[in-house]
Structure 1
Amino acid sequence: MKLHLPLFLLFPLFLFAQNDLQKNITREYENGHFSGSVLYFDGKQTQKINKGFSNIQFDVEINDKTRFPIASITKLFTSLAILQLQEKGLIDIKDPVGKFIPELPENCQNILIKDLVTHHSGLENEPVKAVVNKYSIDNYIKEFVKKSPKDTLKFNYNNVDFILLSKTIERITKKDFSKSIEDLILQPLKMTNTGFVKESEVIKNLAYGYHNYSFGKGEKNKPLFNDRRFISNYYGAGALYSTTEDLHKLLIAIRNNELISEKSKNDFLLKPQTDDSGDWISGKPTFGFYYDDKTNIYKRSGNIDGFNSEIITNKNFDKILIILCNTDTADLRDLANKIYFKKQ
């Protein structure tokens, strides 16, 4: 005798999680608080959702091919490149940056590589003019690398730190920074939808950015403004674009030790390097992530006006959430936490 189970018992539990994810994203989109792509990986299956427009002016809908500038998630790539070069014996994280960039001001010469990666350099933040005008990496360093008058080595999130790391990588590899990242990470992993924003080039499927600084609290029809920054000026601090699928590929490669060794991963990428923690970045700095010891997860966020991005993963990289947006109308941290921790 055949047993006929009720239909709902034949559906895997993953489908119910899918429904929750779809419901969350659709609700935020309909409220005018989301435009972007989401990827959720539960260790076995992957779900992807796209909502909104990559170009509002021409009604171009976001799809799996849409490439988003990922802002400070770029710093994860730069950190991985530093660890790769250390494994090759070409750099030590305890090296002073002046060893590689001797033209720096004298009082910046002895900043350690590890202090740049973890934002303990004591350098000033870059001014607005650093991103509203075009600068070469050398001119950027000449103009904006300055010790803070406070001269503190406490945690201070700072894009200038990663511009110096970008130049350090150039000096070691004897290649442009973008070419170094391509050779060290993008080509080995076949990340064909990831690259560097260059305003002088037309990049296929690249999303436009829109902002109004509402962060989940604005009304649906509140006006949006086109982004106007030179994203290319951010170099290793924030100049990459990517897709959720390519970023997922990167995280799985980290899990499988395809880019750095198990030892480097455990000693630097997964281990907090200081006890300093900022509430707005949700954790203690590692070489690439921020570790939240309250929830035992790793985060990496990015935002440049309308381009906002979020990665959340556990230590084993078998529960991963990636969100890429081209507006700042979402409270992305809150939305990401709701999805990852299944809050309604």
Structure 2
Amino acid sequence: MAVSIVERRRAWRWAMIGMTAWSAALAVSATPVAARTQAALAPSTTAPAGKALDTALDAYLAAATKNEQFSGTVLLARDGKPVFVRSYGMANYELGVPNSADTVFRLASVTKQFTALAVMQLQEQGRLKVDDPICRYLADCPAAWRPITIRELLNHTSGIPNFSSLPDWDEVLSRRDYTPAELVSLFRDLPLKFTPGEKYDYSNSGYHLLGLIIERASGIGWGEYVQQRIFNPLGMTHSGDDNTRALVPHRASGYYSLGATFINAPIISRTVGYAAGGLYSTVGDLLLWDRALAPGKLLGQVSLDAMFTPAKSGYGFGWRIGERFGRREMDHSGSDNGYSTYIIRFPADGLTAIVLSNSDRASAGKVGNAMAAIAFGQPVTLPTAQLREILWERIDRDGVAGAIAHYGELKRSGAKLDFGDDALVGLGYDLYEARRYADAKAIFRFNLTIYPKSAYSHDGLADIAVAEGDPKQAIALFRQSLALDPTNSYASDALKRLGSSARD
């Protein structure tokens, strides 16, 4: 069985943009936003508004579209009213359909905040308590889960392993259809990672179980509950549960990027999202959601306070709570095949940024944080051309030898580019996905002359060996990778798939 290129793609993609599993890293610096002409704008002494805000936000988004392959729709709101709504790129590149304010995107893990609110509604209705043991609501509950409470599912401290981190998830398991109960069978017999309540460890499995608990407590399906008790009352008419084959008007397709171009993201089953990541929506509907997160709308003050109280690692119930720009904020990101989503709220300032993207390359979290920084008059740096895209274009023009020569020229010139291991590894895997194996091998080998301890480069060469039908060479290369980095689970999992181990 082929090793998971999607898994490896995720590994270097998250490393390059500096994201955690649930929130984008803050992307501000001491360098101010530059206009499209590259002339620097001085940091604002007061928060920009009107045309100045519009110009600064559009300058950032245009640069992200050009240099980081951003594609999607964004919204910035003050006091519940949109002050900037704009779309970039295409909802469907094959049909030439541009993104718009009405474009529908898969929310991925932004779904979790809706699941968390549903739980709190049921608590207010007296149908459950967050400190109830989960086995009270789950059929055939494993003995190991008996000490786990609903609260520990909500704040990711249950210790239940994350099903989307299972070996073969990306290439095999995620492509199968499941009922919610059938998906539980993938992780129900796995040992807990730690004693419940002891640590934080992000787990889609926990939120999947919350969906089943909501169904047991409410007597209706999870998707139906969210529709009836959240979407319908708020008028969120462009939102829903994506576990269906029904047509969704204005739905965006999800894309991966190769150099400065796009390819279709791998297809995964719509059944695997469920309560952990299965909703779709628009920026306008999410603004209705943002407005409803006030006492008396969907929940009372006590329940909202519980949702927004951080536990371990700053995670509350469906939200990460922290401080940014010296202000209290709450946020959550989502990532699915070909989608990147993000919402960040500053309640005391009345500011909300929403980013829905159908491109894997540009982090929605990075974009959302930059938008908030601009709105607060903080300095931000425009996205610039990345080494990976520069070299991709040079390969197309002058071949790999020309690209390698250009790499040397750029480095000697002192160009402000990321010349780290990840840049060439990313380029190598882009070429691999385009099935340009000879070019990919040349790039990985070149990277090893610069970074001889690059485990990922050995992985790349091993993946190519698998694709070219040489498992013996692949095994040798994966073993070299593990020798350089014994913690490289990608290589160890690949060896298992190839029927081998780290040693002869």
- Residue 263 (structure 1) shift: 1.8
Using the alignment, how far apart are the partners of 1:256 and 1:37 within structure 2? 28
Using the alignment, how far apart are the partners of 1:203 and 1:334 within structure 2? 28
Distance 1:317 1:242, change over 3 A: farther
- Asked whether the 8 Å contact 1:123–1:146 carries over to 2, the reply is no
Amino acid at match of 2:316: T
Using the alignment, how far apart are the partners of 1:55 and 1:198 within structure 2? 21
SS of 2:58's equivalent? helix
- Residue 253 (structure 1) shift: 0.7
Which of residues 332, 355, 361 in structure 2 aligns to 1:323?
355
Residue 293 (str. 1) matches residue 336 (str. 2): no
Which of residues 263, 283, 289 in structure 1 aligns to 2:302?
263
Residue 200 (str. 1) matches residue 245 (str. 2): yes
SS of 1:49's equivalent? strand
Uncovered stretches (5+) of structure 1, i.e. residues with no partner: 1-11, 213-217, 278-283
- Residue 64 (structure 1) shift: 1.6
Residue 30 (str. 1) matches residue 66 (str. 2): yes
Q: Counterparts in 2 of 1:108-127, with a 5 A limit?
A: 108-126=145-163, 127=166
Residue 220 (str. 1) matches residue 265 (str. 2): no
Residue 142 (str. 1) matches residue 174 (str. 2): no
- Asked whether the 8 Å contact 2:333–2:364 carries over to 1, the reply is no
Using the alignment, how far apart are the partners of 2:351 and 2:76 within structure 1? 8
1:32-69 CA-partner distances (Å, limit 9, x unpaired): 52000000012254320011111111111111211000
- Asked whether the 8 Å contact 1:251–1:317 carries over to 2, the reply is no
1:200-229 CA-partner distances (Å, limit 9, x unpaired): 2222211111124xxxxx7423x5332311
Residue 171 (str. 1) matches residue 216 (str. 2): yes
SS of 2:287's equivalent? helix
Using the alignment, how far apart are the partners of 2:133 and 2:260 within structure 1? 49
Amino acid at match of 1:23: A
Which of residues 135, 141, 157 in structure 2 aligns to 1:98?
135
- Residue 324 (structure 1) shift: 0.2
Using the alignment, how far apart are the partners of 1:112 and 1:37 within structure 2? 37
SS of 2:185's equivalent? helix
- Asked whether the 8 Å contact 2:121–2:299 carries over to 1, the reply is yes
Using the alignment, how far apart are the partners of 2:349 and 2:130 within structure 1? 25
TM-score by length of 2: 0.60
Choose 256-265 or 143-152, whichever is displaced more: 143-152
1:238-266 CA-partner distances (Å, limit 9, x unpaired): 00000001011001011253011112112
1:80 aligns to what? 117
- Residue 332 (structure 1) shift: 2.7
Using the alignment, how far apart are the partners of 2:206 and 2:97 within structure 1? 36
- Asked whether the 8 Å contact 1:124–1:146 carries over to 2, the reply is no
1:280 aligns to what? none
1:47 aligns to what? 84
2:366 aligns to what? 334
Distance 1:149 1:78, change over 3 A: closer
- Residue 130 (structure 1) shift: 4.0
Which of residues 56, 62, 65 in structure 1 aligns to 2:99?
62
Distance 1:143 1:177, change over 3 A: same
1:9 aligns to what? none
Amino acid at match of 1:220: A
Choose 124-133 or 52-61, whichever is displaced more: 124-133
1:131 aligns to what? 174
- Asked whether the 8 Å contact 1:299–1:313 carries over to 2, the reply is yes
Uncovered stretches (5+) of structure 2, i.e. residues with no partner: 1-47, 375-379, 382-504
TM-score by length of 1: 0.87
Choose 103-112 or 306-315, whichever is displaced more: 103-112
2:284 aligns to what? 245
Using the alignment, how far apart are the partners of 2:297 and 2:244 within structure 1? 32
Distance 1:158 1:150, change over 3 A: closer
Work out which structure has the larger RCO, using CA pairs closer than 8 Å and 6 or more positions apart in sequence: 1
Report the identity percentage.
27
- Asked whether the 8 Å contact 1:32–1:219 carries over to 2, the reply is no
Distance 1:241 1:177, change over 3 A: same
Distance 1:95 1:147, change over 3 A: farther
- Residue 172 (structure 1) shift: 1.0
1:75-121 CA-partner distances (Å, limit 9, x unpaired): 00000000001111111000011001131212113310000001111
SS of 2:235's equivalent? coil
- Residue 149 (structure 1) shift: 5.0
Choose 107-116 or 193-202, whichever is displaced more: 193-202
Using the alignment, how far apart are the partners of 2:114 and 2:93 within structure 1? 30
SS of 1:228's equivalent? coil
SS of 1:162's equivalent? helix
- Asked whether the 8 Å contact 1:125–1:158 carries over to 2, the reply is yes
Q: Which has the larger radius of gyration?
A: 2
Which of residues 11, 18, 28 in structure 1 aligns to 2:54?
18
